[in-house]
């Protein structure tokens, strides 16, 4: 072993291991890491329950409980003893074909089971796609605001990140001129999240058509994060990006985490929506299959349950969840209108989130969004994600996907916090 340049401090032993810098900062880039810091500010002595308006996981609220049919499917899969085995790296055949069928319902062509890779939630889907796209010099275009996982994953894989804006005044539509200006010969893909986290908007068919044309012109693929598929309650219907697969190759990422409200079940997918076969020709599909051999699979019994989960969940359940989200989105939007210092540029119409702007200048002794969220947690036991975690300083991301009465409580506390901390006007 090398001896560290000849001498120096005699007794100091030199160890050969050091974590990489990307690992150390993963907590900063993740929603979870940031929320942990905010949550730590909630005082132990507050008799009131803490209100979680930070992350989108309503699974603990009875009103968001997954349907019995889904639970039964998991129990039956475990009891069958058919799924105690390792699964193939790409997923078990029955899961792949059930997911292909589920997604094909909304597409003008049929996906086959070979187009589907079963993953550990949408998170592993991102991991797989970014890992295989990573090569020296490559760059990817990401939305701002976006989902921090994409940036973290890029940095880990050595992919350069370039950001295009979502424009609040245009209902958070993508700045497609910026996309064109950012792309060069080393750009592999652009990422879209629809229905959108964190903005709560839903892209129109026309806008997605323009996204497809732009990406096609630039020679890049579209990575469509549709983890909130069908969770829409405004005037725009959910249109999968795969509808434009004839125009541009689309890699769709999804999971049952949000629509079935079971993020802990860790079942997601990569879907190749590319009827022209460009992603096969360019070996992208083979590479994903190959990469999954050195990655871990979702539990086999969840894969075994998925055909039944997709097939046996009744429309009633989805309608109930949509009605609940519509109600809570309304409560949230209307409450924010009444709060000075916070403005909402666009009423949420999908996903579980809304982005709102903090007018820092009308608050006393509060420096920025992070300070705001820490003091809010301290004084009111309400947890909200500071926009800085998403690259949007002095914005806030609020989730309304919680029980309506808790939401009303949380927004009430937010309002009194703002009133108490507002600058006195002359
Ligand atoms: C929740 C979420 C994910 C991760 O989904 P899992 O299925 O829980 O891994 C990915 N993208 C977005 C935009 C999300 O909100």
Distance 252 CA to ligand 1 centre (A): 13
Q: Confirm whether 118 is domain-assigned.
A: yes
Are residues 169 and 224 part of one domain? Answer: yes
Are residues 330 and 307 part of one domain? Answer: no
Are residues 221 and 116 part of one domain? Answer: yes
Which atom of ligand 1 is nearest the CA belonging to 352?
15
Q: Confirm whether 135 is domain-assigned.
A: yes
- Name the residue of 119, 120, 121, 145 whose CB sits within 8 Å of the most ligand 1 atoms, as the mutation to test its pocket: 121
pLDDT of residue 32: 85
CATH number at residue 248: 3.40.640.10
Q: Confirm whether 285 is domain-assigned.
A: yes
Query: Domain boundary at 279, 312, 345, which?
Result: 312
Distance 319 CA to ligand 1 centre (A): 21
CB count within 10 Å of CB 41 equals 15
pLDDT of residue 271: 98
Burial of 132-164, coded b for 16+ CB within 10 Å and e otherwise, reads bbbeeebbbbbbbbbbbbbbbbbbbbebebbbb
Which atom of ligand 1 is nearest the CA belonging to 257?
7
Q: Is 193 in the pocket of ligand 1 (CB under 6 A)?
A: yes
Q: Confirm whether 10 is domain-assigned.
A: no
pLDDT of residue 8: 54
Q: Confirm whether 409 is domain-assigned.
A: yes
pLDDT of residue 9: 59
Are residues 306 and 195 part of one domain? Answer: yes
Distance 401 CA to ligand 1 centre (A): 15
Distance 125 CA to ligand 1 centre (A): 10
Q: Is 254 in the pocket of ligand 1 (CB under 6 A)?
A: no
Are residues 297 and 166 part of one domain? Answer: yes
Cβ atoms of 241 and 194 within 8 Å: the answer is: yes
Query: Domain boundary at 312, 340, 375, which?
Result: 312
* Domain count for the chain: 2
Paired tokens of 89: 């790296």
What's the pLDDT tens digit per position in 13-39?
Answer: 999 898 888 777 776 667 888 899 999
- Which residues are 140's β-sheet partners? 161, 189
What's the pLDDT tens digit per position in 402-426?
Answer: 999 999 999 999 999 999 999 876 5
Cβ atoms of 385 and 370 within 8 Å: the answer is: no
State how beta strands 139-144 and 160-167 pair. Answer: parallel
Q: Confirm whether 81 is domain-assigned.
A: yes
Are residues 121 and 261 part of one domain? Answer: yes
Q: Is 115 in the pocket of ligand 1 (CB under 6 A)?
A: no
Tell the residue number behind the tokens 């996204």, with chain if given: 211
Which atom of ligand 1 is nearest the CA belonging to 267?
7
Contacts of 121 by beta carbon, 8 Å cutoff, 6+ apart: 255, 257, 263, 266, 267, 268, 298
Are residues 86 and 38 part of one domain? Answer: no
Are residues 218 and 335 part of one domain? Answer: no
Domain of residue 217 covers 68-312
User: What's the rounded Cα separation, in Å, for the pair 109 and 96?
Assistant: 17
Q: Which residue ranges of the chain lie beneath pLDDT 50?
A: 1-7
**What phi and psi values does residue 309 have, to the nearest 5 degrees?**
-60, -45
User: What's the rounded Cα separation, in Å, for the pair 201 and 232?
Assistant: 9
Are residues 320 and 308 part of one domain? Answer: no
Query: Domain boundary at 291, 312, 333, which?
Result: 312
| Helix axis angle, 369-380 to 404-421, nearest 10° | 110
Please report, for residues 15, 209, 210, 213, 222, the alpha-carbon distance to residue 243 in angstroms, rounded to integers and kept in the order given. 54, 9, 12, 13, 12
Are residues 267 and 183 part of one domain? Answer: yes
CB count within 10 Å of CB 394 equals 17
pLDDT of residue 221: 98
Q: Confirm whether 181 is domain-assigned.
A: yes
Q: Confirm whether 290 is domain-assigned.
A: yes
The answer, as to whether pTM is greater than 0.75, is: yes
User: What's the rounded Cα separation, in Å, for the pair 231 and 354?
Assistant: 14
Please report, for residues 9, 153, 161, 162, 185, the alpha-carbon distance to residue 21 in angstroms, rounded to integers and kept in the order given. 25, 13, 17, 20, 28
pLDDT of residue 1: 43
Distance 14 CA to ligand 1 centre (A): 40
CATH number at residue 337: 3.90.1150.10
pLDDT of residue 2: 45
User: What's the rounded Cα separation, in Å, for the pair 137 and 349?
Assistant: 38
Are residues 303 and 170 part of one domain? Answer: yes
Distance 365 CA to ligand 1 centre (A): 35
Are residues 191 and 130 part of one domain? Answer: yes
Give CA angle at 295 (289, 299), nearest 5°.
Answer: 100
State how beta strands 173-174 and 160-167 pair. Answer: antiparallel
- Name the residue of 57, 59, 122, 266 whose CB sits within 8 Å of the most ligand 1 atoms, as the mutation to test its pocket: 122
């Amino acid at each position: 072993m090398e001896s560290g340049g000849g001498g120096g401090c005699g007794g100091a032993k030199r160890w050969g291991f050091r974590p990489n810098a990307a690992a150390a900062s993963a907590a900063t880039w993740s929603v979870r890491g940031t929320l942990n810091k905010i949550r730590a500010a909630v005082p132990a002595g507050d008799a009131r329950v803490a209100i979680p308006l930070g992350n989108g996981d309503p699974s603990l609220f009875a009103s968001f409980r997954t349907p019995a049919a889904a639970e039964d499917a998991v129990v039956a899969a475990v009891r069958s003893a058919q799924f105690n085995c390792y699964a193939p790296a790409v997923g078990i055949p029955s899961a792949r074909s059930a997911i292909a069928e589920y997604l094909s319902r909304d597409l003008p062509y049929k996906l086959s089971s070979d187009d589907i890779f079963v993953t550990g939630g949408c998170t592993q889907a991102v991991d797989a796609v970014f890992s295989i796209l990573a090569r020296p010099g490559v760059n990817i275009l990401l939305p701002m605001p976006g989902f921090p996982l994409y940036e973290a994953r890029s940095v880990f894989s050595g992919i350069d990140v370039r950001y295009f804006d979502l424009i609040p005044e245009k209902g958070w539509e993508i700045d497609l001129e910026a996309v064109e200006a950012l792309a060069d010969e080393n750009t592999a893909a652009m990422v879209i999240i629809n229905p959108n986290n964190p903005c709560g908007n839903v892209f129109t068919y026309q806008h997605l058509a323009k996204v497809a044309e732009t990406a096609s012109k630039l020679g890049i693929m579209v990575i469509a994060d549709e983890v909130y598929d069908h969770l829409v309650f405004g005037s725009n219907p959910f249109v999968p990006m795969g509808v434009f697969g004839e125009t541009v190759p689309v890699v769709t990422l999804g999971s049952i985490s949000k629509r079935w409200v079971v993020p802990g079940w860790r079942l997601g997918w990569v879907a190749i929506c590319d009827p022209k076969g460009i992603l096969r020709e360019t070996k992208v599909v083979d590479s994903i299959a190959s990469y999954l051999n050195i990655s871990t699979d979702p539990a086999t019994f969840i894969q075994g349950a998925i055909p039944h989960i997709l097939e046996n969940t009744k429309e009633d359940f989805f309608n109930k969840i949509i009605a609940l989200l519509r109600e809570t989105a309304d409560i949230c939007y209307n409450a924010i209108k009444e709060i000075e210092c916070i403005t909402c540029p666009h009423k949420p119409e999908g996903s579980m989130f809304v982005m709102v702007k903090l007018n820092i200048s009308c608050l006393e002794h509060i420096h920025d969004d992070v300070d705001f969220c820490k003091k809010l947690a301290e004084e009111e036991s309400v947890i909200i994600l500071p926009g800085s975690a998403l690259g949007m300083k002095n914005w806030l991301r609020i989730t309304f996907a919680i029980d309506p009465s808790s939401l009303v409580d949380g927004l009430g506390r937010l309002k009194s916090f703002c009133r108490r901390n507002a600058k006195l006007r002359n």
